[in-house]
Amino acid sequence: MLRARKTAAAAIFLLALLAASPPRSSTGLTAYPLSKQNGPWMIVVKSFVGPQAVEMADKLVEELRDEHGITAYTWVQSANKSLQGLQGVSLRGRVRQYDNAAVLAGDFDSESAREATKLRDKIRAIRPKCIPADATSKYRYEEGALTTAWIAPNPLRPPPAKDAKPDPLLLKMNTGKASLYNCRGDYTLKVLEFNGAVAVTPEQEKQLGKHGTLQKAGEDAEQITEVLARQGFDAYVFHGLYASIVTVGSFTSPQDPQIDLVRKQMAGIKVGSFTLSQAPLLIAVPKR
């Protein structure tokens, strides 16, 4: 049985979708742009990529605000227009690149705030009208388009001090060879997230069995990471206090042109019984 966690994780992940030019959302081209004045911790509701990414993100923001009373914002990463060619494909001229747009919600002072957890769970239960079935995988649509919502730092806020020490518990939980701590780059793409109960009572453990616990989430994440590694991908796993994630790639900066190539290569592919994210999210690699 998992023991209750007494403290929440320190700032581990930093959303790192910063483009070379200022995000479009800061120029007023979206009704509710994300800003550095928003809370240091927020809920990453959903990310979109493609020609309608910004439009879909804006519609989701409006629906969350109008129908659910949730303060939500749009954050846009401008596409890299200079990217030439696709991996494994011979093309001439420029490859059309699309904006990435993410919807973030809430304004919280810490990752462990009870209000943040409540809002995250509320958002996960919402089935937005503005996201049609063909906008995501069949599995994700049936489970719920927002079930992957998670708590993360506001990407426009300054990063935490470099000398900040990670939680000793996280260090203990992430000692394997495929641990994200062993990634040499500063950024990586999150392709899958497994959520589990933070703690369960004996009665809950009997009802859940192994399914739905952090242990099961961690085992699933380890298994997918191993499969991806055998297929030749640069795959990593990270076990947090609330979820386990699988990432692919090792990048030195948010402007690395390989990011878009790997994102396209990994988006929506099937690995065992799981489907990877349609829009893998760029995150900072946690350091020991």
User: Is 35 exposed, middle or buried (CB count within 10 Å of its CB: 0-12, 13-18, 19+)?
Assistant: middle
More confident residue, 208 or 174: 174
pLDDT digits (tens, 9 = 90+) for 196-245: 644 444 554 455 444 446 788 888 999 999 999 999 999 999 988 778 89
Map residue 173 onto helix, strand or coil. helix
Say what the pTM is. 0.50
pLDDT digits (tens, 9 = 90+) for 30-53: 889 998 888 888 898 988 877 888
pLDDT bucket at 249, cuts 50 / 70 / 90: very high
Q: Residue with structure tokens 């007023």?
A: 28
Return mean pLDDT, the chain: 75
Instruction: Taking residues 160-185, report their average pLDDT.
Output: 80
Distances in Å between the Cα of 151 and the Cα atoms of 170, 224, 280 are 16, 22, 16
Q: Beta strand 100-108 with 72-77: parallel, antiparallel or unpaired?
A: antiparallel
pLDDT of residue 230: 94
Angstrom distance (rounded) from CA 278 to CA 269: 8
Angle at 62 between CA 109 and CA 156, to 5 degrees: 35
pLDDT digits (tens, 9 = 90+) for 78-112: 654 333 322 223 333 343 455 678 899 998 887 66
Residues 286/165, Cβ–Cβ less than 8 Å: no
pLDDT of residue 48: 84
pLDDT of residue 256: 83
pLDDT of residue 229: 94
Return the minimum-mean-pLDDT range out of 64-73, 189-198, 200-209: 200-209
Q: Beta strand 150-153 with 187-195: parallel, antiparallel or unpaired?
A: unpaired
